[in-house]
Amino acid sequence: MTKRVIIDTDPGLDDAVAILFALASGRFDIIGMTTVAGNIGIERSTTNAAGLLAAMDRADIPLYSGAEQPLLRSAIDAIVVHGDDGLRGVTLPAPAAPARAGAVEWMAQTLMREPAGSIDILALGPPTNIARLINEHPDAASRIGHLIAMGGTIDEPGNSGPASEFNFASDPEAVAIMLRADIRTTIIPLDVTRKVRADRDYVEALRGTTAGDIAADILIAYLQDEKRSRPLHDPCVMLLAVAPELFGVDFLRLSVNLGDDADAGALTRTENGSPVDVAMRVDVPAVLKLLASGLR
């Protein structure tokens, strides 16, 4: 069975690989895509998402732009990792169809129209759109089947602050709203994603299909030391969605740092924290094999 999903994203190099897998693998029925400011700002995120749809000849999938700013804070970005264009010079086709505004409203309308629990949300960027959906359309948000979000860190050092991860540091208030909501939620933190990396031989072996060629170009641009890629954070969301048996998930109670220090957005285990499933272990060879099989 294919999973019916909405992809909420801010592409971004690793986001792009995740989206290509979702588009090419045949494992997802993508109801639509929504964009959020995160890695590179809303305009470029939306353009890149539209370019990926055009490259895969999927202009039939609706694309909606969403939050331009965090709920309460100034925006941060990850241009140092992803480049000014978000893809470090990898060229995508021009969008085949324009994006529309109103991501949150469209998500709400879609969730209310479809059977409750029938649509999952795969969240690859800061959860600002998700938090707005929960706050502004609680009845619609309650109909989400499974929310899988990349973000946070539990025992690993952070990549934004000493103990904070970029997506969650981008909008801590949105994270707190997401974790408090009565929605089946699984987060995938750096504890897992940092283990999943592709070496150059793996990358070159992806070539031979449209998705594989683009993913290989992106991953070459994403190499950290000319030998292996930076962590494949966002593909882990798609991989857990289709093969949860490849991940070890723990039930934790987590609180979010809502301060103004360097670790805003950091997660800590607390007795009174929000209950959430957290992926803490991963079968790396198996998930890399699955990722390659969906791109080739």
Q: Domain map of the chain by residue range? A: 3-295
- Contact status, residue 187 vs residue 152, Cβ threshold 8 Å: yes
How many helices and strands, by DSSP H and E, does the chain display? 13, 10
Q: Which two tokens stand for residue 229?
A: 């890629």
Identity of the residue numbered 99: A
Query: Does this model's pTM top 0.75?
Result: yes
**Residue 276 pairs with which residues in a beta bridge?**
252
CB neighbour list of residue 288: distance below 8 Å, 6 or more residues apart: 196, 198, 202
How many CB atoms neighbour CB 124 within 10 A? Answer: 31
What span, in angstroms and rounded, lies between the C-alpha atoms of 211 and 1? 21
CB neighbour list of residue 193: distance below 8 Å, 6 or more residues apart: 150, 231, 232, 233, 236
Alpha helices (H) in the chain, listed in sequence order: 13-24, 42-55, 79-82, 103-113, 128-136, 138-141, 166-170, 172-180, 190-193, 200-204, 210-221, 235-242, 284-295
Class of domain 3-295: alpha beta
- Contact status, residue 149 vs residue 111, Cβ threshold 8 Å: no
Q: Which two tokens stand for residue 75?
A: 């925006």
Annotated catalytic residue 146: no
Q: Please tell me which residue in 82, 137, 146, 233 is annotated as part of the active site.
A: 233
pLDDT tens string for the chain (296 positions)? 789 999 999 998 999 999 999 999 999 999 999 999 976 789 989 999 999 999 999 999 999 999 999 999 987 865 656 566 667 678 899 888 889 999 999 999 999 999 999 999 999 999 999 999 999 999 999 999 999 999 999 999 999 999 999 999 999 999 999 999 999 999 999 999 999 999 999 999 999 999 999 999 999 988 878 788 999 999 999 999 999 999 999 999 999 999 999 999 999 999 999 999 999 999 999 999 999 999 98
